[in-house]
């Protein structure tokens, strides 16, 4: 994908109705802040996430996000210079079931004893929609006068 967007908005049928795990990967540079003093913590903000994600930074799994805000601390894994980010996003199978409802049974990917969906059922958003950014938190002790 060229940019972050809901998988359900794709023009490609298999992407629009995808159900499972999508892996988003990128690299970025981190230049340490020039400010002095105070302790720093860094947070990866995933923006809109449908439905849950496991975050890996520089080969280290930093955790799983499944609720809002989709945010996870990355302080220990973040390093100066080049960083490698991988976000594994799992969505639910509703979009695949909606896609399958318009296919003959022998071409369907899923099976369920309960099929409430029709081909015209609206697709919910899925995947990593973003925006994704890093937030720096600086803790500065105050001196009382």
List of domains in the chain: 7-31+39-92+124-136 (2.60.120.260)
106 has pLDDT over 90: yes
Question: Collapsing DSSP states into helix, strand and coil, what is residue 14?
Answer: helix
CA distances for 137 relative to 29, 36, 54, angstroms = 18, 13, 22
pLDDT one-digit tens code per residue, 13-58: 999 999 999 999 999 999 876 566 668 999 999 999 999 999 999 9
The answer to whether 44 and 74 are in contact (CB under 8 A) is: yes
Provide the pLDDT for residue 36.
62
Task: Quote the CA–CA distance of 34 and 79 in Å, as a whole number.
Answer: 15
Q: Any idea of the CA torsion for 26, 31, 37, 42, to the nearest 10 degrees?
A: 0
- Residue 24, classed as helix, strand or coil, is strand
């Amino acid at each position: 994908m060229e940019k972050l967007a809901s998988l359900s908005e794709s023009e490609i049928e298999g992407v629009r109705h995808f159900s499972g795990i999508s892996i988003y990967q990128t690299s970025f540079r981190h230049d340490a802040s020039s400010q002095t003093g105070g302790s720093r913590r860094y947070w990866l903000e995933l923006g809109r996430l449908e439905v849950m994600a496991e975050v890996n930074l520089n080969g280290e799994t930093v955790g799983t996000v499944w609720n809002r805000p989709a945010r996870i601390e990355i302080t220990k894994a973040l390093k100066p210079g080049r960083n490698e980010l991988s976000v594994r996003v799992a969505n639910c199978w509703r979009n695949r079931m909606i896609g399958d409802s318009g296919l003959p049974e022998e071409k369907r990917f899923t099976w369920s004893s309960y099929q409430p969906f029709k081909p015209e059922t609206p697709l919910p958003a899925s995947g990593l929609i973003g925006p994704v950014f890093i937030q720096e938190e600086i803790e500065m002790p105050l001196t009382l006068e």
